Amino acid sequence: MAANQTRNVFFQKIDELMGKDNSIIIVSVDLAGPPFDKIRKNHPDRYISVGIAEQNSVAIACGLAAAGKKVIVYAANPFPFLRAFDQIRNCACTMKLPIVIAGLGTGFSVAECGATHLTIEDIALASLCAGLDIYSISDDPMAEFMADQITSFTRPAYLRFGKWSGVPVGIFNHEIYRAGYRIVKKGKRIAVVGTGCTTQLLLNMELPDDYTIYDWFKLSDSKLLSESLCRYNEIITVEEQQRRGGMGSMLLEAFNDCGYQSRIYRIGIDLNCCYPQEYGDRGYWLKKFDITKEHILAVCERK
């Protein structure tokens, strides 16, 4: 599995679509990669590199979208939301402009770059933007499918790409796309919910047969997922995000609003006093914050 695989699959499909639709434009922030070499060659007038300027990239994208273009902003996470939140909120969302923000690197997937590159708040920030659709890309089939959808988007969207995800975790089609989630492992007793490359992590753990694994990929839509999960007495959410405001918090709010009574346990990142000062790779951080098979199995025993 190549590094940045889902990103590559997504933009390879975008390159094909750009050959058929002259309205598609890419605005890139100080980044390149194998799929962009071909895009720059095939469509040099529709690939705009703005340098290290996330705020400017979103502003440019919104201007182009207001003129009728279909624009993809490509940037390294966590910076699109940490640096360009105001432009996303007030330009893209307030003006209802259907730009696509493609962010590379979720959770601990670029931890080798240091604590500044831990993407551990983007779900919380994105969820605050009214009218923004949030998708965590779990594998190659989903990446290719989502590329096909961008010209039909009527709202701004944020696509989260994990750096090493790509191996298919399950089928993906229009029915699953409309639901906003998919079941990638069936069990009966306990439901475990992941998103993005964390779903692949859960599958690799080989959890017991009575554990169902859900891949929640459309984080801006919890209705159908909640209806499916409410039949379980115990639910565990697992995420490479701060627990406060993350995926688990969003699900808790949805269950509370619907009056569902299931017990939800949240496994994620707790920062009690400050941001991490040490250096470590993804494996280091997963272990430090107890995002492990052993912790998942132990959680439901603490009743």
C-alpha closest to that of 7 among 31, 23, 30, 24: 31
Q: What is the pLDDT of residue 259?
A: 94
pLDDT tens, position by position, 213-226: 999 999 999 999 99
Q: Is the pLDDT of residue 190 over 80?
A: yes
Task: Tell me how far apart the alpha carbons of residues 276 and 279 are, in angstroms, rounded to a whole number.
Answer: 8
Residue 192 near residue 213, CB atoms below 8 Å = yes
pLDDT average, residue stretch 144-152: 95
pLDDT tens, position by position, 63-119: 999 999 999 999 999 999 999 999 999 999 999 999 999 999 999 988 888 888 999
Q: What is the pLDDT of residue 166?
A: 83
Task: Tell me how far apart the alpha carbons of residues 6 and 9 are, in angstroms, rounded to a whole number.
Answer: 5
Q: Which two tokens stand for residue 254?
A: 């949805």
pLDDT average, residue stretch 116-123: 93
Residue 215 near residue 172, CB atoms below 8 Å = no
Q: What is the pLDDT of residue 303?
A: 54
Q: What residues form DSSP beta bridges with 28?
A: 49, 74
Work out the pLDDT band at 196, boundaries 50, 70, 90.
very high
* Average pLDDT in the chain: 94
What's the whole-model pTM score? 0.95
* % of the chain with per-residue pLDDT over 70: 99
Q: What domains does the chain contain, in order, with CATH numbers?
A: 5-166 (3.40.50.970), 174-299 (3.40.50.920)
Q: What is the pLDDT of residue 34?
A: 84
Q: Is 107 helix (H, G, I), strand (E, B) or coil?
A: strand
Q: Which two tokens stand for residue 158?
A: 């944020």
C-alpha closest to that of 266 among 229, 227, 220, 234: 234
Give the HSE-up count for residue 177: Cα atoms under 13 Å, Cβ half-sphere.
12
Q: What is the pLDDT of residue 200?
A: 94
Q: How is 108-173 classified by DSSP, letter by letter? A: TTTGGG-GGG-B-SHHHHHHTSTT-EEEEEEEHHHHHHHHHHGGG--S-EEEEEEEEEES--S---
Q: Is the pLDDT of residue 1 over 50?
A: no
Q: What is the pLDDT of residue 274?
A: 85
Task: Tell me how far apart the alpha carbons of residues 263 and 169 are, in angstroms, rounded to a whole number.
Answer: 26
Work out the pLDDT band at 297, boundaries 50, 70, 90.
very high
Q: Which two tokens stand for residue 278?
A: 């040490």
CA 21 from centroid of its chain's CA atoms: 26
Q: Write out the H or E segment, with its range, that includes residue 194.
A: strand 190-194
Q: What is the pLDDT of residue 300?
A: 78
